Amino acid sequence: MTGEKARLRKKNFHTDYKYFLMFAGISILGFLLFYLYPIVRTVMLSLTDKTIYSLDTSYVGMDNFVYALTKDPLFFKSISLSLIFASVSGLFVLVTSLILALLLNSKVRGIGIFRTIYFLPFIIPSFAVGAVYKNVFNPTTGLINRILELLGFQNQPLWYVSPQTALVTMIIISSFGFGVKMLVFLSALQGIPENYYEVARIEGASKYQMFRKITLPLITPMLFFNVILITIDGLKAFNLAFVMGNGQGFPSNSTLLFPIYMFMTAFNMPFRLGYAAAMAWLFFVLILALTGINFFVSRYYVEKDVS
Amino acid sequence: MRKILSFSFLVIMAFGAFMLVSCQKPATDVLKIALDIEDEGRYDELFQYFTTETGISVQATYGEDISKLIGTVNEPDIIKTSTVVIESMQDSLYDLTDMIASDPDVDPLLYIDSLIEALTIDGRIYALPTSINTSLLYYNKDLFDENADSLRIALGLGPDDSVYPEAGWTYADYQTAGVVLSKYTVLPDQSRVYSQFGAETQLNWWGEWLVYLNQMGGTFYEPGTDNHVLAITSPEAVQATQFFREKSMGDTTEKFAPDAVEAASSFSFMSGNVAMIFGGHMGDWYSYDALGMNWDIQILPTPVGIPDARGGEISADAFGISIRSQNKTDAFKFLKMWAGETGALKMYEYGKVGALKNMEQLILALPEADRKAINIQAVFQAADLALTLPREKDFSKVMREMVMAEIYKLMFNGRGAETDCLTVLTRIKTNVDQYYANLYD
């Protein structure tokens, strides 16, 4: 009897395993090929002086990491620009996406049209968005400065032309990238039972009190999810910075976000792949640390018992 | 369940087949070459000619970054390089010296000396030059014609003299013409709104500044330092930078070029609202023609008081053979055809000028209808005067990230702008010298 049980269990295991492999096989293959292999390869590259065109590469140990951390001022500049960009634009995106989600959660006629309109910028490629905004923010011919001029403002900003304001311009533009985050908030808002608000209204709660005591606590898991998403998105921002900064951190390295600097290091002369790989790993550690901090801080604001 | 199993099996098989097809060894009678996106279709006739002559097909891809193809199954047999990047690409290029020596049809002496020297590393030739780029003064003939009377007065020309730039022009002539060709309206607060400029300033590229630096007698690197210490705080370098700045900012001279803000507002030679480019790129000829511009070229003006100043820069697009190519012999056959007279003349049809010493004669021997209606002699005069760019591996990085990033701050008014050239140049020198010291210590 015991032997029969064991045989059945073994058979079940084999059947389960077969199905597991069948359904997950392609994903596992994809993961191995397109994620694990590049990860391992990048680790190996980061320990060498490999350039794109070199045949012989030498093992340099931690030299690339030491150089980045002690001798490359542009490494630190690009990291700090990325942190500023991610935190400031992230904050804007978080607030605007929450406000818009609250507005779009209201019961008004034609709400679907508004939802589509607000989501539209997200589906337009960021390269195109950047090109359009470059015209909008042109210091002499752009719409923004024309409006400021009509309003009587003197000495309008030079926006992306000046090193002092180029990053700010990019932050303003990227603040409109709230599409997915807005949807996440919207789905969270729609999951809140209406009777909570009815009870609060009967108790005489104001709209602010309802938001503070009901809405906000109940959407904190999604708020946390969005914070993680926004942090990583902001730190990895590439397309907009590439368009706005002509792929070179223009002007005067003021939009030299870390992904741009890494790209330039690897794919422009002198094509230092090994060093770029080391920088990528240092950046990974930074993102990991920030995500860890986010998780730690989330203990204090994420409502666990939402259900 | 059986259907799901069959479907999954089919998907996996299709994926496997796709991978196998992707990884299959390329046919050996096909030469692969990667070209720039703007070259698409330009050389089809040349490829066809080669196939007819040799039976070997040429398979070109356009717009794919060569740096991403190296080491992959799609690596081209023939690799594009240049006199500037050849040192960085040396490891991937096959040494052509022996092939050249054993082929009576190829003689390095046929090419412009400075270019073949630039493609030679430690006495070994790694690529053959196919087309040159040298600094020239470009001008829009229509804008000059429209202002002919004003130009004659300003330049002291007679009624029968040409108003177009002459080979003997100095910076002063260039500046005078530039001022005449700049058009603006004056606002009530006395500020000017320009609708046309005399000359373009290329702020995103270091080439123009470097030419001023060289022409005014300066050097970028300190001689004898193995190109690791900058010499840009010299009086000549400061003077060059001041000239570069003042033509756009008009601090002490009359402004005749757009500053950084105006340049961002579509003022350019190609837009037709700028009359001249100092040191424009020969790769743009095709675009000028496509836009229907009435343009011509002249050698660069020389600084006042420095008549023997050197010219601009010269570089060349060149092609080498991948060290991993299975078709080196066929690739060399193609290369020598392309870098030879047949290729040079075909490329000339598409606005490129070959690197052969006798290129001028080849062009002048063409029927008049096949020749460009431009002062082609200027190209060869400029090439004779020009200097080759440093091919030091970090030169382009240093220029892009450290030099132009700082010089740009001199080129606009407003927050973040700088006005003192020496201060900016000193900061650049400090940063770049430190960069090289860290790199090579």
Mean pLDDT of B73-81: 90
* Contact (CB<8Å) A164/B416: yes
Q: How far is CA B239 from CA B213, B403, B408, B428, in A?
A: 8, 16, 16, 16
* Contact (CB<8Å) A158/B261: yes
* Contact (CB<8Å) B67/A138: no
Count Cβ atoms below 10 Å from residue B109 Cβ, excluding itself.
Answer: 7
Shared domain for A212 and A250, answered yes or no, is yes
Is position A52 within any domain?
no
Backbone angles phi, psi at B231, to 5 degrees: -120, 30
- Measured in angstroms, the CA of B63 and the nearest CA of chain A are apart by 15
Angle (CA) B207-B209-B214 rounded to 5° is: 90
d(CA B186, CA B10) in angstroms, rounded, equals: 74
Is-contact B165 B276, C-beta < 8 A?
Answer: yes
Is position A57 within any domain?
no
Inform me whether the C-beta atom of residue A25 falls under 8 Å from chain B C-beta atoms: yes
* Contact (CB<8Å) A73/B431: yes
List, for residues A30-53, the tens digit of each pLDDT value: 999 999 999 999 999 999 999 988
Which of A16, A66, A161 has the highest number of chain B CBs within 10 A, making it the mutation to test binding with B? A161
Nearest CA in chain A to B434: A71
d(CA A248, CA A264) in angstroms, rounded, equals: 7
d(CA B353, CA B79) in angstroms, rounded, equals: 19
* Contact (CB<8Å) A269/B91: no
Residue B15 predicted with pLDDT over 80: no
The count of residues in chain B is 441
Residue B29 predicted with pLDDT over 90: no
**Two structure tokens written together for B1:** 């369940």
Is position A58 within any domain?
no
A111 backbone φψ class: left, alpha, beta (φ>0; ψ -120 to 50): alpha
Shared domain for A145 and A36, answered yes or no, is no
Inform me whether the C-beta atom of residue A252 falls under 8 Å from chain B C-beta atoms: yes
Mean pLDDT of A289-303: 90
Q: What share of chain B is helix, strand, coil (3-state, %, to 5)?
A: 45, 15, 40
Which of A25, A55, A158 has the CB atom closest to B91's CB atom? A55
**Two structure tokens written together for A179:** 């599409």
Is position A122 within any domain?
yes
Is position A240 within any domain?
yes
Q: Which residue shows structure tokens 């006495």?
A: B123
Q: Is A53 helix (H, G, I), strand (E, B) or coil?
A: coil
- Report the pLDDT value the prediction gives residue B424, as an integer from 0 to 100: 97
d(CA B139, CA B375) in angstroms, rounded, equals: 11
Which of A20, A53, A72, A135 has the highest number of chain B CBs within 10 A, making it the mutation to test binding with B? A53
Shared domain for A235 and A87, answered yes or no, is yes
Q: Which chain B residues contact residue A158 at CB under 8 A? A: 261, 412, 414-416
- Measured in angstroms, the CA of B44 and the nearest CA of chain A are apart by 28
Shared domain for A29 and A71, answered yes or no, is no
Q: Is B349 helix (H, G, I), strand (E, B) or coil?
A: helix
* Contact (CB<8Å) A55/B415: no
Chain A contacts in chain B segment 78-107 (CB below 8 A)? 84-85, 88-92
Is-contact B83 B118, C-beta < 8 A?
Answer: yes
Inform me whether the C-beta atom of residue B437 falls under 8 Å from chain A C-beta atoms: no
Element (H, E) at B139: strand B137-140
Inform me whether the C-beta atom of residue A176 falls under 8 Å from chain B C-beta atoms: no
- Measured in angstroms, the CA of A175 and the nearest CA of chain B are apart by 23
- Report the pLDDT value the prediction gives residue B16, as an integer from 0 to 100: 64
* Contact (CB<8Å) B8/A23: yes
Shared domain for A215 and A250, answered yes or no, is yes
Q: How confident is the model at residue A25 (pLDDT cuts 50, 70, 90)?
A: confident
List, for residues A143-153, the tens digit of each pLDDT value: 999 999 999 98
d(CA B138, CA B288) in angstroms, rounded, equals: 11
Question: With 0-12 CB in 10 A as exposed, 13-18 as middle and 19+ as buried, what is B271?
Answer: exposed
Is position A39 within any domain?
yes
One-character DSSP codes across A266-295? HHSTT-BHHHHHHHHHHHHHHHHHHHHHHH
Shared domain for A131 and A254, answered yes or no, is yes
Q: Which chain A residues contact residue B67 at CB under 8 A? A: 52-53, 267, 271
Nearest CA in chain A to B87: A270
State ipTM. Answer: 0.84
* Contact (CB<8Å) A141/B406: no
- Report the pLDDT value the prediction gives residue B211, as an integer from 0 to 100: 93
Q: How far is CA A226 from CA A89, B103, B324, in A?
A: 13, 66, 48
- Measured in angstroms, the CA of A305 and the nearest CA of chain B are apart by 39
Shared domain for A91 and A118, answered yes or no, is yes
Mean pLDDT of A88-101: 93
**Two structure tokens written together for A274:** 């090994």
List, for residues B245-265, the tens digit of each pLDDT value: 999 999 888 999 999 999 888
Q: Which chain A residues contact residue B394 at CB under 8 A? A: 269-270
Mean pLDDT of A255-282: 94
Nearest CA in chain B to A52: B67
Residue A154 predicted with pLDDT over 90: no
**Range(s) of the domain holding residue A21:** 1-46
- Report the pLDDT value the prediction gives residue A307, as an integer from 0 to 100: 54
* Contact (CB<8Å) B92/A161: no
Inform me whether the C-beta atom of residue B2 falls under 8 Å from chain A C-beta atoms: no
Is-contact A234 A167, C-beta < 8 A?
Answer: no
A&B contacts, CB < 8 Å: 112
Q: How confident is the model at residue A55 (pLDDT cuts 50, 70, 90)?
A: confident
Which of B67, B70, B405 has the CB atom closest to A253's CB atom? B405
- Report the pLDDT value the prediction gives residue A15, as an integer from 0 to 100: 84
Residue B358 predicted with pLDDT over 70: yes
Is position A306 within any domain?
no
Is position A54 within any domain?
no
Q: Which residue shows structure tokens 């030739």?
A: B125
Shared domain for A182 and A210, answered yes or no, is yes
Is-contact B315 B114, C-beta < 8 A?
Answer: no
List, for residues B281-327, the tens digit of each pLDDT value: 888 898 899 999 999 999 999 998 888 887 899 999 999 999 999 99
The residue that leads in pLDDT, B19 or B268, is B268
Burial B390-427 (b: 16+ CB within 10 A, else e): bbbbbbbbbbbbbbbbbbbbbbbebebbbeebeebbee
Domain count, chain A: 2
- Report the pLDDT value the prediction gives residue B132, as an integer from 0 to 100: 95
* Contact (CB<8Å) B409/A53: no
Q: What is the DSSP letter of B424?
A: H
Helix intervals (H) in B340-416: 341-349, 359-364, 377-385, 395-397, 404-407
Which of A29, A138, A271 has the CB atom closest to B88's CB atom? A271
Shared domain for A39 and A72, answered yes or no, is no
Q: Which chain A residues contact residue B261 at CB under 8 A? A: 139-140, 158, 161
Q: Which chain B residues contact residue A15 at CB under 8 A? A: none
Chain A contacts in chain B segment 343-402 (CB below 8 A)? 393-397, 400-401
- Report the pLDDT value the prediction gives residue A124, as an integer from 0 to 100: 82
The CATH number given to whatever domain includes residue A150 is 1.10.3720.10
Stated pTM of the model? 0.86
Inform me whether the C-beta atom of residue A38 falls under 8 Å from chain B C-beta atoms: no
Q: How remote is the C-alpha of A43 from its chain's centroid?
A: 23
d(CA B420, CA B203) in angstroms, rounded, equals: 17
- Measured in angstroms, the CA of B246 and the nearest CA of chain A are apart by 18
List, for residues B413-428, the tens digit of each pLDDT value: 888 899 999 999 999 9
One-character DSSP codes across A167-193? HHHHHHHHTT--HHHHHHHHHHHHTS-
Q: Which chain B residues contact residue A140 at CB under 8 A? A: 261-262, 264-265
Shared domain for A133 and A222, answered yes or no, is yes
Widest CA span of chain A, in angstroms?
Answer: 92
Backbone angles phi, psi at B168, to 5 degrees: -90, 10
Is-contact B214 B387, C-beta < 8 A?
Answer: yes
**Two structure tokens written together for B213:** 């630096």
Q: Which residue shows structure tokens 């070259």?
A: B39
Residue B85 predicted with pLDDT over 60: yes
* Contact (CB<8Å) A250/B417: no
* Contact (CB<8Å) A53/B89: yes
Shared domain for A34 and A89, answered yes or no, is no
Q: How confident is the model at residue B11 (pLDDT cuts 50, 70, 90)?
A: low
Domains, chain B, with CATH or none: 28-133+314-388 (3.40.190.10), 137-313+391-440 (3.40.190.10)
- Report the pLDDT value the prediction gives residue B17, as an integer from 0 to 100: 63
Q: Give the whole-number percent of chain B exceeding pLDDT 90.
A: 70
Q: How confident is the model at residue B26 (pLDDT cuts 50, 70, 90)?
A: very low
The residue that leads in pLDDT, A118 or A44, is A44
Residue B14 predicted with pLDDT over 80: no
Q: Is A246 helix (H, G, I), strand (E, B) or coil?
A: coil
d(CA A38, CA A27) in angstroms, rounded, equals: 16
The whole-chain average pLDDT of chain A stands at 90
Element (H, E) at B214: helix B207-215
Which of B82, B415, B430 has the highest number of chain A CBs within 10 A, making it the mutation to test binding with A? B415
**Two structure tokens written together for A65:** 């990491």
Which of A155, A267, A269 has the CB atom closest to B85's CB atom? A269
**Two structure tokens written together for B245:** 């700045």
Shared domain for A2 and A130, answered yes or no, is no
d(CA A188, CA A115) in angstroms, rounded, equals: 15
Chain B contacts in chain A segment 101-130 (CB below 8 A)? none
Q: Which amino acid is at A17?
A: Y
Q: Which chain B residues contact residue A272 at CB under 8 A? A: none
What own/partner pairs with CB < 8 Å and gap ≥ 24 does A54-63 have?
A: A54/B91, A54/B92, A55/B91, A55/B92, A55/B323, A56/B91, A57/A274, A60/A274
Residue A4 predicted with pLDDT over 70: yes
Count Cβ atoms below 10 Å from residue B369 Cβ, excluding itself.
Answer: 5
Q: Return the bridge partners of B58, or none.
A: B31
* Contact (CB<8Å) B11/A140: no
Inform me whether the C-beta atom of residue B23 falls under 8 Å from chain A C-beta atoms: no
Among the residue ranges A24-28, A197-201, B273-277, the one predicted with the least confidence is: A24-28
